[in-house]
Structures are given as structure tokens and as C-alpha cells.
Amino acid sequence: MDELDGDLRTAKAVRDMQLHMKEKRNIKKNASDIRRQKTLKRQTKQLGWFKRTKYSIGMSWMHLKQKMAEFAYSLELWKSHLKKIEGHFGTGVTSYFLFLKWIFLLNIPVCILTLGFVVIPQVLYRYYMKVPSGYAMPANSSVSFTGEELLTGGNWFEETEMYYGFYTNQTIQINNLGEYDMKFAYLFTCGGYYILTLIILALSISRSYKMNYIEGSGTQTFYMVSRVFCGWDYNITDTAAASLRHKSFFNEMKEFLSGKKKPEDDVKKLEEKCKWFFIRLLTNLLILGTIGGLAYMIYAVSGRIETNTRILADLALPLLVSAVILIVPPIFSLIARIESYEQPKNELYMNMLRTMLLKASILGILVYFWFTQTAKRENECWETLVGQEIYKLVIVDFIFTLGATFCLEFLRRIFATHCCKLKNPSPEFDIGRNTLDLIYSQALCWLGTYYSPLLSVIMILKLFIIFYVKRISVLQNCRPSLRPWRAARTHTIFMGFLFFFFLMATVAVAVGIIIIDSSHSCGPYRHDSLGDDQHYYAYRVVLDLIDSWRGEVVYEIISVITSPGSIALVLVALCVGTYYMRIVMIGHKEMVTLLRQQLAMEGRDKAYLLRMLQEASKKRKVKPSNINRTLAPQTSSLLNPGERSPGMHQ
Amino acid sequence: MFFVYSVYKRFRQLNEDKVQRDKNVKLSREEILKLPELQVNPFNDRITTVFSSSGDGGMTFEDFLDMMSVFSDNAPKNVKVEYAFRIYDFDEDDVISSDDLKQVVNRLTGEQQLNEEEMQQLIDNILEEADLDDDDSLSFAEFEHVISKAPDFIK
């Protein structure tokens, strides 16, 4: 086995070397030959059967692992599509598709979790117990599937595992295989997937933040360097895209250089400053007012359309919400143009922030409505109603996404190329808007998974279809953007938005579980009427469970953990930890500036010494190259020991 | 193995006859440049020179494989940085001098060119950011230091 490990180590070391393939192969061969001879020398007697088998198994295991890795690489989801898009549009547009893929993959574990622990047990329960439904009231068995349910999510769907109300509160027992308490399963699965998503999100957001902000900034940003040396998108294969890239680089450099010059005559008049301040104040107030007004409108409307039962009335609210989300953001970006920010970057961020605020407040007001109005209804299953509303929002959002793609991208191209000659026949692919749409639809999914466990399945289907639609639309209809898109940095911002929405959804669901009473007559947490002053909410199940442990050790442990004292202790510990980290960070920063100064000093020393030596060598006629060689390693060893130095190869 | 095979297929596409006849044939720079990624790349002559083992821009399959593996997503970052440094080092004196920088910028801007003053300002800016020891050129260590911190560095 030693030989095997050694081979693996060599392979890894060789991979990191900057040599040609032939030399790498030679090194590998030599190393493994030497190792083999050593092994043979050491073991004079014949290898035992056991050793031989072990070795060959190890060998084949290694090969199998390599094969699997290659196989997995070739299987990777949507790889060829992504490469193709990258070739035509560069990394900016690809970042949208990567984000879509990431969300798609994020939904899969959630989906498996809910299917495995909630949906499948309920299906088995239904199958074995022959109980038609989870509702306490007699099921309306005459309802059949007509097709319009796909849009409204009502009627027939109410009698399926789609919604909260259908799930039983019984303990499932199948052929004495064990008990399965649906109450706990439902609540703990819900908690489980929120925690799982939280962990995944937090990990990737911290990785992205670390990569783009902490390591990227330091004491000084390397803006210019990264623009110039990373200026070319090496994945571009399209000639048109390439010439566009040249232009965009040129424009960016021009823009930057003109921006650099400004500070010299930057002494703006106070008057001017005041003017801009007031204009921006005004626009911000206007936008906040618009958002507030729209939110109120949705709140007012959502109470109205309850009485009607026709399809259009059912869909009026989701249609309104989606329309607002489609129409208002472009108006915001028009307003932002009036504000005339110095940097296009700031304008973009401002737009994204406002759009997110709009979406967040709409969702917030809807949740508020559901918890204050819908949850008060006595004889209906309000959780199912909420689930239905969210289902409708998801579906209508999906239709709007498809419609917007069709109208704004496909029809516009057809119209522009055939009817009137516009200057730019095909539209640009708006990465920001599209990504924000994705984040919104994911937020809906998080909000609704508790009330409608199968929503994550719908979400997966939705994302899958959107990927293909967008892919075709991008390649057919769009042209690459002239404005450079800094994919790595905006990714962190998108992740931040996603995280914010996740927190919002989690808080909303937690409030729904802990504070709002669950329905009397349906779902896993049905209960008899307890009277006016008593509340029965879903979280009560856990409290009851803990209460039932009274007198045991577990109960004591839980009560100690949840006592105010220990929580305060944890908070204090966290604060101390944060403070310590901050101190360390400041220390590191000081160290970096010190080292930088030292480096500059060394450089000056080097230049000075070289000059001295050259003068000396002129007198003594010694070749300067020798001196270079002896001097250089000292200076560069400070930068990175072992790296090659500039003077070495002269 | 899968990767090597797909690279081989692409290599064969560049010149079916020659490769069919002799697997170890050396294709000329013009033939290598038929690769769509390289065709539009402003640094294509540098790339072919750096990866060519004979140094004249021609490539055998092994050289070609070298190039593809460095450009693949899975290549280690330090290898990528090393090759990027060699590509940008036009006069091959193991430092990126201001002349090299000028070439890089000119190739990136394409047909439109920055004027003399702007170019000088740009180069001053770059050196100010990256040149740690004030010798008016970027050594490999300096290059690696800044480039590994740039989040957009994906070749």
C-alpha cells in the first residue's frame, strides 16, 4: 500500500507543476520506478497472498474512483448548454444560468426531505388505512379533476397531499412495523429543511463573501490590475462577441480614466450639491411612497375578491401582484436615470435594492393579510387557503416569466427585424432583472413549503422549464451586452438578497407555527375548540412533548438550556468572540501595512545596491549578470519563499 | 481518459488527414489557430508560443493537451497564474514591464486605441497598485500576489 500512496502523492504534486506533459510523465515514471525498486529491495521474500490481494484491490479502487470522477464530470448537469452560452455571451449571462442551476440543486434535498418524511407516509397511510382524507368533515368525493385546478390550485387539489389540510393527525402504524407520528413528522421535517437550507445558504454566502470582498480588498483594491489582466473572457468563441468585448473594454477604460481625472476639479459648488441632494431625496420619497401605495392597494384588494368563485376572480390577486412586479421596476430604473449617479454601478445597485424592497413589501403585506384575516376564519382550513394562494402566485409568476420572455425577447426581435429597422434589433439579456425574478420565485417557495409540502416539486419543474426556455431565448433572440457585468461581485449581492428573503420567509413561517392558532378541523394540528382564552398552535405539540418528559433528565437539560440565564450567557460569549475576532482583524491589517512598507524599503535598497554595484563593476569590469544572480533571491524571498525571482533568469 | 479523448477529437478536427496519418504530428500555428476559442483571442500568438514545446508556435498533441488542461476548469490556480504570467510577458524577460503592459492593453482594446497620455496614466495606475517594490515592472511574485486576489480570475 505504501507504493500506492506514493503514486497518488506524486500524481498530485506533478499536477501542480508548470511543466510540459513529457517532463511530467518522466518525473512520474522515475518516481514510481525508484519506489518499486525500494519496495522490492526491502521485501526479500515473496509477497504474501494477502498483501497481493490488498494491493490489487487498492489499485482497482483507485482506478474506479478516477473513472467515477470523470464520469461524474461528463454527466454534470447542463454542462454543454452552459459552455455554449458562455461562448456567445461571456461569463455575465452565464452567471444567471449558474445561479438558476444552483437554486435548482438547492431545491432537490428539500424536495427529497419532504417527500420522504411527510408525503410518502401520508400516501401509505391513505393506502393502508383506507381513510379517504385528512379532513375531519366528510370529504367531498364528487370533486373531480377538470384541468382548471392547475391554475387555481383549488377543488381537486384540496383532496390531495398538495396542501397542509389533507395531512392526518394520527399515528401511522403499518403492519406493526413501527409507529410514525404525523404531528411530529410534519413539524420536524419543516424545521429540518429550513435548517438545512440555512446551512447551505450560509456556507455558500460566506464563501462568496470571503472570495470577493475579504480576500479581494485588503488595504487596497486591485481594480485596475484585475480589469486589465482579467479583461479578456477566454471562453468567448464568437467573433461578434469578441469585437463587442474589445469595444466594452475600451469604453470601460475610457470611463475609468475620465473618472480618475475628475477629483482635480471636483470642487463642486454647494448649490449643485444641494440640488442633487434634494432631487435624490425627492425620488427616494417618491419611490417609497409608490411602494407603500402599491402594498396598501394589494392589501385592500386581497380582502375584496373573496366572495366570487370564478377562475378570473380567483386569479385576480396573483395576476395583480405579478403585473406590479413586472411593470414597476422599469419605472424605477427610469427614475434612477434622472438621478444621474456618477457610476453606473451605483445606479444598478440602487435599482436592485428598490426592486427587492418592492417585492419584499408585497410579500410582507400578503403574509400580514393571511395571518390577520384568513387565519381568523372559523370553519375553513386557513392553512390550505394560504397554500392555495401561494400556489397561485407561483403558477402566475411562472406564466408571467414565460410571457415576458416571449414578448420582450422573442416578439421584440421579430418585430424589430421585420417591421421597423431599430438601431439595435435584438434586446440585451437583462441579467439583473432575471436573477431577481428567480430570487422572488424561490422566496415564494420557501414561504409556501409549510402550507403546501409539494411546492418544492413544482418549483423544481418550474426551474427546469425556465432553464430551457431561457437558454433557447438567449441564443435566438438576445445580443451580448455592451456594459461589462462583474459576475463574481454581483453574485455575492444576489446571495445576500436570497438570504434576506430566506430569513423573511422563515420568520413568517415561524410566526405561523408559534403564534397563530392552527385550524380546528384539518391538518396535523387539528383540535377541539378550547374556548376563547386558550390557544392551540402547531408548536404546542413540541411543548406538550417536553412537558410529558417532566421528571426525567432530558426535561431538566431542556429547561436549563432555555432558561434566560443560559441564553444570556451564550449571547455574551458570542459578543466576546466577535470582539476578539475584530481585534485580531485590526492587528492583521496593521501588519499588512507594515509589511508593505518593508517591501517598498527592500525594493529601494535593491535598486540602490544595484546602482552601487554597477558603478563598482564599471570600474572593475565585472559582468553585472553574476551580481544580479547573487542579489535577487534575498529580495524576493520576502515576497514568497521558494518562488522564482526576476533576476534569476537574466 | 474521457477528457483526453475529447481533446484528441478536437485536435483531429484541426487537420483530419495529418493526424490520421501520424498521431505525433506537429501542427503549425496557423492550424492550431483554427480553434474557435483561439481565433478570436487577442493573445492567441502568445498562447501558442507559450505552450509550444519547440517554441515556434507549432504544437504536437501533447502540447495541445497541455494547453487544454491548463484552460480547463479543474486546473490548479497556481498553474493558471504561471501560464498567464508567461502569456502576458511579451518580451520573455521574466518580468512584465511597462512595454508589456502597453501591449496587453492595446490588444484588449482592439481597433480603437487609447492615446499616449491615457495609456501612460493607465500604466501608472496599474503599477501603483501592483508594483510593490517600485522597480517599474511586475515580477512573478507581484503578479501572483495581485492576480490571486482578483475574484474574476477565471480563464
Please give the backbone phi and psi of residue A505, each rounded to the nearest 5 degrees, phi first: -65, -40
Contact B37 A237 (CB under 8 A): yes
DSSP structural state of residue A294: H
Whether A15 has its CB under 8 Å from any CB of chain B: the answer is yes
Q: Is the pLDDT of residue A606 over 90?
A: no
- d(CA A423, CA A416) in angstroms, rounded, equals 9
Where do the CATH 1.10.238.10 domains begin and end in chain B? 2-70, 80-148
Q: Provide, rounded to the nearest whole percent, the portion of chain A with pLDDT above 70.
A: 74
All three cell numbers of A420: 421597423
Phi, psi of A493 (to 5 degrees): -65, -40
Query: Does residue A624 register a pLDDT over 50?
Result: no
In terms of phi and psi (left: phi > 0; alpha: psi -120 to 50; beta: otherwise), the region of B136 is: left
| Beta-carbon separation of B150 and A241 below 8 A | no
Any CB–CB contact under 8 A between B41 and chain A? yes
Largest separation between any pair of C-alpha atoms in chain B: 54
B9 touches chain A (CB under 8 A): no
Q: How many CB atoms lie within 10 A of CB B50?
A: 23
- Taking an 8 Å cut-off on Cβ atoms, the answer to whether B66 and A602 are in contact is no
pLDDT tens track for B100-132: 888 888 887 777 777 788 788 888 877 877 777
- For A388-402, A403-417, A522-536, A587-601, which range has the lowest pLDDT when averaged over its residues? A522-536
- The answer to whether A16 faces chain B, any CB pair under 8 Å, is yes
* Cβ A332 vs Cβ A287: under 8 Å: yes
* Residue A622 C-alpha from the chain's centroid: 62
Q: What does the DSSP assignment read for A98-132?
A: HHHHHHHHHHHHHHHHHIIIIIHHHHHHHHHH---
Beta bridge partners of residue A179, listed in sequence order: A173
CB contact under 8 A, A225 and B130: yes
A58-62, A442-446, B70-74: segment of lowest average pLDDT: B70-74
Give the pLDDT score at A268. 60
Find the helix packing angle between A431-448 and A455-477, rounded to 10°. 170
Q: How many residues does chain B have?
A: 155
pLDDT of residue A582: 93
Alpha-carbon torsion (A484, A485, A487, A493), positive or negative: positive
A639: distance to nearest CA of chain B, Å?
A: 7
Q: Higher pLDDT residue, A537 or B89?
A: B89
Q: How far apart are CA A178 and CA A180, in angstroms?
A: 7
Residue A273's alpha-carbon distances to A261, A269, A279, A280, A347, in angstroms, are 19, 6, 10, 11, 18
Nearest residue to A397 (alpha-carbon basis) of A429, A365, A436, A451: A436
- Does B118 contact A21 at a Cβ distance shorter than 8 Å? no
User: Are the C-beta atoms of A414 and A478 separated by less than 8 Å?
Assistant: no
CA–CA separation, A634 vs A81, rounded Å? Answer: 50
Return the H-helix or E-strand segment holding A289.
Answer: helix A270-304
- CA dist A503 and A520 (Å) reads 29
Nearest CA among A343, A359, A361, A607 for reference residue A484 = A343
Is A603 in contact with B125 (Cβ distance < 8 A)? Answer: no
Hey, which residues 259-278 in chain A have their CB within 8 Å of chain B?
260
C-alpha cell at A442: 424561490
Supply the DSSP string of B70-90, one letter for each residue: HHSTTS-HHHHHHHHHHHH-T
- The separation between the first and the last C-alpha atoms of chain B, rounded to the nearest angstrom, is 23
Which residues in chain A have Cβ-Cβ distances shorter than 8 Å to B41? 232, 234, 236, 242
One-letter identity of residue A134 = G
With an 8 Å Cβ cutoff, are A489 and B151 in contact? yes
The whole-number pLDDT of residue A474 equals 84
What mean pLDDT do residues A264-289 have? 77
The answer to whether A223 contacts B39, with C-beta atoms less than 8 Å apart, is no
- Alpha-carbon gap: A255 to the closest alpha carbon of chain B (Å): 11
105-144 of B, contacting A, C-beta below 8 A:
105, 108-112, 114, 118, 121-122, 125-126, 129-130, 132-135, 137, 139-144
**Which runs of consecutive H residues, i.e. helices, occur in A478-563?**
487-514, 540-548, 553-562
Among the partner-chain residues B71, B110, B153, the one whose CB lies closest to the CB of A230 is B153
Q: Which residue has the higher pLDDT, A593 or A12?
A: A593
pLDDT at A67: 81
Q: Which of B76, B78, B114 shows the shortest C-beta gap to A253? A: B114
**Most A CBs within 10 Å, among B33, B108, B137, to test the A interface:** B108
Kindly report which listed range (A48-52, A250-254, A639-643, B138-142) carries the lowest average pLDDT score.
Answer: A639-643
Closest residue to B122, CB basis, from A71, A257, A488: A257
Residue A447 has pLDDT above 70, yes or no: yes
Q: At what angle do helices A487-514 and A182-209 cross, to 10 degrees?
A: 160
Mutate to test the interface with B, among A225, A233, A601, A628 (most CBs of B within 10 A): A225
- Per DSSP, the three-state class of A359 is helix
HSE of A233, CA atoms in CB hemisphere, 13 A: 29
Q: Across all residues in chain A, what is the average pLDDT?
A: 77
Which comes out higher in pLDDT, residue A221 or A274?
A274
Highest-confidence segment of A35-44, A304-313, A546-555: A546-555
Report the alpha-carbon distance of residue B76 to residue A415 in Å, rounded.
Answer: 47
| CA dihedral of B146, B152, B153, B155, whole degrees rounded to 10 | -160
Partner residue facing A607 (CB), from B37, B125, B135: B135
In angstroms, the CA A101 to CA A90 distance is 17
Contact pairs from chain A to chain B, CB under 8 Å:
188
Give the relative orientation of helices B2-14 and B61-71 as an angle to the nearest 10 degrees.
Answer: 120
CB-based contact, A215 to chain B, within 8 Å: yes
Please identify which residue in the block is written with the cell numbers 374556548: A531
Q: Which residue has the cell 403574509?
A: A367
- Mean pLDDT along residues A241-255: 72
- pLDDT confidence of A422, banded at 50, 70, 90? low
- Residue B76: pLDDT band (50, 70, 90) is confident
CB A85 within 8 A of CB A27: no
**Which SS3 state, helix, strand or coil, does residue A182 take?**
helix
Q: Does A349 touch chain B (CB under 8 A)?
A: no
- How close A621 comes to chain B (CA, Å)? 24
Strand pairing report for A179-181 and B96-97: unpaired
ipTM greater than 0.90: no
Residue A649 with chain B: CB contacts under 8 Å:
93-94
3 state SS of A411: helix
Task: Give burial (CB, 10 Å; 0-12/13-18/19+) of A485.
Answer: buried
Q: What pLDDT, in 10s, does the model give residues A162-174?
A: 788 777 777 777 6
Handedness of CA A636, A641, A645, A649 (dihedral sign): positive
A533-552 burial code (b ≥16 CB/10 A, e <16)? eeebbbbbbbeeeeeeeeee
> Are A393 and A444 spatial neighbours (Cβ–Cβ below 8 Å)?
yes
CA A551 to centroid of chain Cα atoms: 45
Question: Which residues of chain A are within 8 Å of residue B88 when distances are taken between CB atoms?
Answer: 229
Q: For residue B13, what is its C-alpha cell?
A: 478536427
Highest mean pLDDT among A311-315, A556-560, B129-133: A556-560
pLDDT of A307 higher than 60: no
CATH fold of B2-70 reads Recoverin; domain 1 (1.10.238)
Task: Output A130 or B98, whichever has higher pLDDT.
Answer: B98
CATH superfamily of B80-148: EF-hand (1.10.238.10)
> A210 at the B interface (CB within 8 A)?
no
C-alpha A616/C-alpha A632 separation (Å) is 18
Q: Taking the C-alpha atoms of A566, A572, A575 and A581 in order, what is their torsion angle to the nearest 10 degrees?
A: -90
Task: Dig out the grid coordinates for A398 from the structure.
Answer: 411562472
Secondary structure class of A181 (helix, strand, coil): strand
Amino acid at A384: T
Reported as a pLDDT band with limits 50, 70 and 90, residue A634 is: very low
Task: Please answer yes or no on whether B144 and A643 come within 8 Å at the CB atom.
Answer: yes
Average pLDDT of A569-590?
94
Least confident of A1-15, A108-122, A432-446, B140-154: A1-15
β-bridge partners, A171: A181
In 10 A of CB A354, how many CB atoms? 22
Q: Does B95 touch chain A (CB under 8 A)?
A: yes
Which residue's entry shows cell 503599477?
Answer: B127
Rounded to 10 degrees, the C-alpha dihedral B140/B146/B147/B152 comes to: -170
For B35, which residue in chain A has the nearest alpha carbon?
A: A237
**Whole-prediction pTM value?**
0.74
pLDDT computed for residue A638 by the predictor: 43
pLDDT category at A575 given cuts 50, 70, 90 is very high
Cβ separation of A260 and B121 shorter than 8 Å? yes
